[in-house]
Amino acid sequence: MLKHKDLESWEIFCAVAEAGSISGACNLCDCDAAYISRIIKTLENSLGGVALFDRTTRPLVLTDAGQIALRHARQLAMIHRNMLEEIQQDPDSLSGVLKVAIPPLVLDGFVLPFILDFQKDYPDIDLQISESSSALPVSFDGPHGRLDIVCGYGRDTSHSQLYQLHYGHAPLIPCASPLYIKKYGFPNHPNCLKDHIGVIQRSNMRPIIRYLLKEDEKIFLQWKKTCFFDSAGSAKKATLFGAGVHAGIPSLNCYRELQQGQLVPVLPGWQPKNSELYTYARPEAMRLRKTKIFIKRYVDFMHAVHAECENSLRPIVGKVSMNL
């Protein structure tokens, strides 16, 4: 077999690239330097004499071809590991790795106690939690390998086999700080916003809010000036500091500040279109009992969190429409 078709050869190549030397790769590969050196040389020959390393430097430096090879070889190795995990895993087992991505503000503000309780109840499941900030279509490429579950917003119409669970609506609340209102006045109607500064969030997860709704009315927003932020957290902080009017902070991310008077609801009766709450899972992951258990418990937990949020908001903004 030509060595460029041999998975082990590419795994050894990755180890040498990571270690920066053949001797340094010995422990990673559990084999001697002579064997590793022979594999790399044979691999280069099978590629038609393409050099993967510049051997005139110490530590070894990848050539341009070597950098291309490393990027793809790492993907090959990961795909191979994932294949073995899925083939060998017992679908009913409540053990092993489960990789989950959750939106940053939800993770930091609410979900950590849930994660601790889940780990206590299922100590053999190795939870690996990442922050989810990707837009649709859903990506399962996580920072530490392929994700099993992603929590996010909106239906993904591009994946016919993807498991998608719609579990609720999240209203968005137009807000400003008392400091801003004292200085610039209280906006009662979307048409007033042409005299106000807009705090605009343009993250991957949520589209920019371009219009507000009230029953059958729909008004597109015009601002005197805008200030853009790439994350929900920074946009919220800017609003708290009096930077402008936020056309729709997710209720879960602002109800505490509304309770404490740090934020004030504006544009009474007007709202952006609600966010649709979803969890997504790879079809291969959904055959596993541990995936189903995590999703059910997460959804039940988030239902309780959103119910608490809605009850807390009712005295402040009235009954928020959940159907826009």
pLDDT digits (tens, 9 = 90+) for 113-134: 999 999 999 999 999 999 987 7
Which one is the CATH code of 96-170+276-311: 1.10.1240.10, 1.10.10.10, 3.40.50.720, 3.40.190.10? Answer: 3.40.190.10
**Cα–Cα dist 244/258, whole Å:** 16
What letter would DSSP give residue 107?
Answer: I
Please list the alpha-helical segments (H only) found in 144-268: 178-184, 232-240, 251-259
Q: CB of 86 within 8 A of CB of 284? A: yes
Region for residue 245 given its phi and psi (left: phi exceeds 0; alpha: psi -120 to 50; beta: otherwise): beta
| Residue 266, C-beta contacts closer than 8 angstroms, at least 6 positions apart | 174, 175, 176, 181, 186, 187, 188, 245
**Cα–Cα dist 189/274, whole Å:** 19
Domain ranges of the chain: 3-88, 96-170+276-311, 172-273
Q: What number of CA atoms fall less than 13 Å from residue 158's CA on the CB side? A: 6
pLDDT of residue 324: 42
Per CATH, which fold does 172-273 belong to? D-Maltodextrin-Binding Protein; domain 2 (3.40.190)
Total Cβ atoms within 10 A of residue 274: 21
Per residue of the chain (324 residues), give pLDDT as tens: 555 678 888 889 899 988 888 888 888 888 888 999 999 999 999 998 999 999 888 888 999 999 999 999 888 887 787 777 766 667 888 999 999 999 998 999 999 999 999 999 999 999 999 998 777 899 898 888 889 999 999 999 888 889 999 999 889 999 999 999 999 999 999 999 999 999 999 877 778 999 999 988 999 999 999 999 988 899 999 999 999 999 999 999 999 999 999 999 999 999 999 889 999 999 989 999 999 999 999 999 999 999 999 888 888 886 554 444
pLDDT of residue 4: 61
What letter would DSSP give residue 286?
Answer: G
pLDDT of residue 188: 95
Length of the chain, in residues: 324
| Domain 3-88 top-level CATH class | mainly alpha
pTM beyond 0.75: no
**Cα–Cα dist 125/130, whole Å:** 16
Tokens of 238: 């800017």
pLDDT of residue 256: 94
**Cα–Cα dist 3/12, whole Å:** 11
Q: Of 117, 119, 136, 137, which is closest to residue 128 (Cα–Cα)?
A: 119
Same topology for domains 3-88 and 96-170+276-311, yes or no? no
